[in-house]
């Protein structure tokens, strides 16, 4: 259960996803213009598209070639529906090529493939660029090996790359447009101006995507779903997402919300004590703490595969919530019907595609404990009020709900906790204790240096390797830990944070001198993509 897209006071811009690493950045960029946008599979049935009644459809980029037999495409009848209903269509990269090919044009392997920054020249006055940019060049981000060599009837080339390849096309009378480059990435400096101009000046989209409206609508949805005598359980992790979700549901149904915080044995240093104190003193939420550390660690013993860890943890969480529900039933005389979770839009996007979704061309990046790990026989029905929101939008919502700023600024912490930051068996030796101490030193050093709010997420990782070292004039054979810190807007893409050498030197010394069993510290300097943010 989540916000109904049809209730949003904004035109909907629908993105059809063909597998580009930037697809969901398009969604986020459009929302930053106060326009509601959603992303669904590019191979969704026509009814899934038409039921949403979008004003604009954007065809995303992707790694495929339109002239290969198994390349993904929009459903039969899509273009006819769009044209008949006055829906604007913009193809980006692969989306442009798909539009060209399906309308009778020709796409071939390019003589010169274009990857990275490229100058593009605007050739003529156009709907896409207006009149003022004619004759000007702009830097854009290209990522294509194929190119359109023959356009469908009625289309004009309005911009070309410095190598002469088609960079932008349009047929305004049919409301079909295409960009061969990616306007959504920061490497295209004028990209947001182009999207803004296209949506507002060309398509006439109305903006009305505000967190105040989202809050009002979510409360209506919750009250319409949860009966007046129903009780609801909320799984609180101590993070931003579940805290905002709990506060929102509490505002809607009051004391019929029953929060539970589970100590799964995979929490950070003194996490349980710190989180419970905040819940009770600052948020005034009724929270029951369940110590299930032995239960989780017993089930995880010997497990090294990260996906299996996530599935096990998800299953154990649900079994605890079911048991908690049974206890509440005895106490209240009525069994709770719903479970609240702080699932976010990136969680849904990056998790296993649901059966029948048609997303056969996309790869599973990870299964989240609160998405991919849910058992089929779960007795509680889900309430996921943040399911269509990105992290920064959740923080906006939290501010409106008066959630303390210190809580909203907390770095994301994964549902499976330290299980995905200990590579290998989490129960082996004292890996968890070592990691907790290392992580505490790292995070406290970041806070002391005034860097915490400049970093999207920072954490330590326990590596399944030992290294020879010298400590206290003695030869040691101890553990290696890694430090990771990234900057990001929503977790979909991320760059590693550039620490000063002195900071890293100080942190390394503190860890090696203060944590028994560690004699080597390394830093992760990989962006997402190609890596994910977590190590696993």
**Residue ranges of the binding site for ATP:** 237-243
The DSSP element (H or E) to which 284 belongs, if any, is none
* Annotation says 93 is catalytic: yes
Burial category of 404 from C-beta neighbours within 10 Å (exposed 0-12, middle 13-18, buried 19 and up): middle
Enumerate the β-bridge partners of residue 476.
Answer: 469
Residue 299 near residue 529 (C-beta atoms within 8 A): no
Q: Which of 22, 12, 203, 16 is nearest to 102 (CA)?
A: 16
Residue numbers in the known binding site are 237-243
Report residue 88 CA to chain centroid gap.
26
- Rounded CA-CA distance 531/526 in Å is 6
- Rounded CA-CA distance 55/67 in Å is 29
Number of Cβ within a 10 Å radius of residue 529 = 12
* Annotation says 477 is catalytic: no
Name the active-site residue from 114, 184, 384, 536. Answer: 184
- Rounded CA-CA distance 168/156 in Å is 9
Verify cis geometry, omega within 30 degrees of 0, for the bond prior to 529: yes
Name the active-site residue from 182, 250, 258, 368. Answer: 182
* Annotation says 108 is catalytic: no
Name the active-site residue from 24, 39, 64, 93. Answer: 93
- Rounded CA-CA distance 258/324 in Å is 10
Give, as one character, the DSSP assignment of residue 469: E
What does the angle CA 123 – CA 127 – CA 131 come to, to the nearest 5 degrees?
Answer: 55
The set of residues, in sequence order, having a beta carbon less than 8 Å from that of 275 and lying 6+ positions away, is: 236, 238, 261
The residues assigned a catalytic role are 93, 182, 184
């Amino acid at each position: 259960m989540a916000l109904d897209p049809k209730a949003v006071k904004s035109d909907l811009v629908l993105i059809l996803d063909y597998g580009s690493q930037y697809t969901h950045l398009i969604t986020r960029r459009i929302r930053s213009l106060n326009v509601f946008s959603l992303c669904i599979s590019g191979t969704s049935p026509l009814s899934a598209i038409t039921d949403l009644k979008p004003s604009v459809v954007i065809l995303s980029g992707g790694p495929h070639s339109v002239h290969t037999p198994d390349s993904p495409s929009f459903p039969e009848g899509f273009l006819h529906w769009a044209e008949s209903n006055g829906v604007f269509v913009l193809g980006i990269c692969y989306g442009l090529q798909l539009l060209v090919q399906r309308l009778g044009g020709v796409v071939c392997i390019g003589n010169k493939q274009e990857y990275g920054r490229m100058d593009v020249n605007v050739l003529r006055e156009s709907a896409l660029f207006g009149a003022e940019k004619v004759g000007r060049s702009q830097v854009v981000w290209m990522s294509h090996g194929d190119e359109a060599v023959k356009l469908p009837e009625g289309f004009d080339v309005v911009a070309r790359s410095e190598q002469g390849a088609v960079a932008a096309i349009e047929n305004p009378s049919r409301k079909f447009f295409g960009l061969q480059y990616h306007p959504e990435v920061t490497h295209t400096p004028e990209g947001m101006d182009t999207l803004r101009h296209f949506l507002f000046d060309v398509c006439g989209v109305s903006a009305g995507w505000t967190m105040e409206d989202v809050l009002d609508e979510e409360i209506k949805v919750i009250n319409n779903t949860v009966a007046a005598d129903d009780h609801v359980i909320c799984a609180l992790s101590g993070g931003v997402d579940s805290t905002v979700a709990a506060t929102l549901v509490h505002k809607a149904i009051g004391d019929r919300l029953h929060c539970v915080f589970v100590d799964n044995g995979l929490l950070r240093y003194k996490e349980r004590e710190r989180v419970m104190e905040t819940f009770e003193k600052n948020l005034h939420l009724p929270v029951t703490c369940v110590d299930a550390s032995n239960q989780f660690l017993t089930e995880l013993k010997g497990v090294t595969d990260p996906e299996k860890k996530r599935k096990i943890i998800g299953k154990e969480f649900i079994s605890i919530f079911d048991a908690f529900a049974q206890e509440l039933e005895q106490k209240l005389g009525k069994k709770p019907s719903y479970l609240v979770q702080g699932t976010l839009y990136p969680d849904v996007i990056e998790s296993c595609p649901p059966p029948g979704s048609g997303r056969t061309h996309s790869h599973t990046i990870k299964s989240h404990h609160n998405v991919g790990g849910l058992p089929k026989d779960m007795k509680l029905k889900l309430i996921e009020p943040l399911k269509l929101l990105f992290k920064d939008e959740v923080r906006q919502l939290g501010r409106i709900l008066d959630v303390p700023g210190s809580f909203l600024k907390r770095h994301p912490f994964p549902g499976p906790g330290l299980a995905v930051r200990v590579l290998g068996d989490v129960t082996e030796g004292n890996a968890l204790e070592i990691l907790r101490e290392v992580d505490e030193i790292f995070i406290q050093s970041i806070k002391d240096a005034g860097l915490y709010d400049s970093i999207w997420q920072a954490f330590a990782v326990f590596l399944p390797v030992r290294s020879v070292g010298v400590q206290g004039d003695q030869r040691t054979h101890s553990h290696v830990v890694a430090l990771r810190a990234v900057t990001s807007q929503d977790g979909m893409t991320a760059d590693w944070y550039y620490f000063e050498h002195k900071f890293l030197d100080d942190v390394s010394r503190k860890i090696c001198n203060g944590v028994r069993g560690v004699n080597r510290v390394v830093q992760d300097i990989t962006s997402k993509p190609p890596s994910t943010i977590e190590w696993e």
